[in-house]
Amino acid sequence: MLRTVMLLAAGAGLTLGLAACDPYSPGQRAVGGGLLGAGAGAGVAGIAGGNAGTGALIGGAVGAVGGAATTPDRRGY
């Protein structure tokens, strides 16, 4: 029971954290892409037997550039 409550509380906290995200901000998209890229790069490098730190740096850089480059245009209302 306690585990279920803790999981629901964690999920609610993450949901509230995402509510503040602006999908039209290149800076926020670059940070998000960089974090995802760093995690993916470290994971792939670790599985492939390479240096996880190097994989994280490369993945983070590629993810940050990709996140900033794919920012959608702000549309008028």
> Domain limits of the chain?
23-70
pTM of this prediction?
0.65
| CA nearest to 28, candidates 64, 74, 75 | 64
State yes or no: pLDDT of 73 exceeds 60. yes
Percentage of the chain beyond pLDDT 70 is 84
The pair phi, psi for residue 70, each rounded to 5°, is -100, 20
Distance (Å, whole) CA 27 – CA 4 = 35
pLDDT, position 76: 66
Give the residue ranges of DSSP H helices in 1-77: 2-19, 26-48, 52-69
pLDDT, position 65: 92
State yes or no: pLDDT of 77 exceeds 60. no
* CA 38 from centroid of its chain's CA atoms: 9
Distance (Å, whole) CA 39 – CA 68 = 17
Query: pLDDT band at residue 13, thresholds of 50, 70 and 90?
Result: confident
